[in-house]
Structure 1
Amino acid sequence: MGLLLIKLALQNLLFFGLHFEGRNNFPKQLSRKEEAECLKKVAEGDSEARDKLIVHNLRLVAYIVNKKYPDCKDPDDLVSIGTIGLIRAAETFDCSQNNRFSTYASRCIDNQIKMHFRKMKHKQTELYISEPIESDAEGNALTIEDIISSDINVEQLAELKIDSEKLYRFIAEELDEREREIICKRYGVADENGRICRPMTQREIAKQLGISRSYISRIEKKALEKLRGRFERGR
């Protein structure tokens, strides 16, 4: 389903461009009769009807973005994100509930945008110990728990959302310069100069620093053990 949503979003990228020129250039909204006929076909698995329903409701996405997020610096990005919510609405709408599609779609669009903001906030201020960070040789997702020795109990830590201010303080107080550098690069944590980069793999860090991946892994593991101990001790 996720790949399908992305594919559909890309297929409709042309219509995102209409937002740049003004909402009046979006295709007109379907009449109630046209919408009912379209929804019936969608329920029967008609992909063309689904795409038609999406295209003729794109102005709804722009309306929600303009009304609820007027101060957003990147409204075009929100239109793209909201369109994913619209696609999801077209995929999951239940005609038997006697609700207007626009009402249901509005909720899906707004929820998709809100979810985007939550993810952005988490990326900037929080580090999830249980979040997958890369894959092992067999393609299985690896988390921080997997990197730390299996004899360490991290069941409670796995669900902990680490406050960024406390995290930065602990990193500064507990880790040496090399450990801080690797942890900041590894998890996209802001460095001492406030710079935030995307999380890097161990291979990328090793190549950048000119040292082996196994050495990076050992330093990372040691640093995480230090931080885990500090969080267990509290303040």
Structure 2
Amino acid sequence: MNLDYKKTKKKHLQDKEVKELIAQAQKGDRTARDRIVHHNTRLVWSVVQRFMNRGYDQDDLFQIGCIGLIKSIDKFDLTYEVKFSTYAVPMIIGEIQRFLRDDGTVKVSRSIKESANHIRKMNDELSKTLGRVPTIQEIANKLDLSPEEVVFAQEASRQLASIHETVYENDGDPITILDQISNPDDGKWFDRIALKDEIDKLNEREKLIIYLRYYKDQTQSQVAERLSISQVQVSRLEKKILDQLKEQLNE
């Protein structure tokens, strides 16, 4: 695939025009798809810069990034109230990361994998014993590791997250990471992905409270009625959950 548009001048397209072209491309219009790719090559190059100095030619990474861009065109849901570029960037990043991982550039040693398994098991054990998610320091103390070693092992073994991954699902109404990208210009999607990881650690009732309060915008009284508890209990639980999430994210 030859997509050398680096030096080509392009007419700026408004987001509405881009979405109109996407609709045409998803119906099989190759000219429309090529025009979107042409229009977004600068976006691909900006992502490629993050992966320089890894032993690969930048033009090769650009070609891989364009594959991610094309996939984002094919999969973009026009009902989402986000800019296409906001959706496309993590898809481009993911495609390049998969290429680097599958090509053997990103490897995790056996010892790191074993440490990650021990950490995962200890996290489960302490969660049951303490009745809450343990801190990094508590896990480190139990395994005679430094907090830095715990964090490194967890991050090194972490799988790539899909922006289509469901954070919570209730009565057939799933919330995905993409749904959390409410403002395409706030530049905080990675913070939101980190928050998603911490929400996964909550129990089902805690997840439901967060879902109803912050995704469905229900009042504490409405949540209390749904859970058959008092509004005061909901208030206390919500504060506890938010404090827990804040503590974990600070870790």
TM-score, with normalisation over the residues of structure 2?
0.38
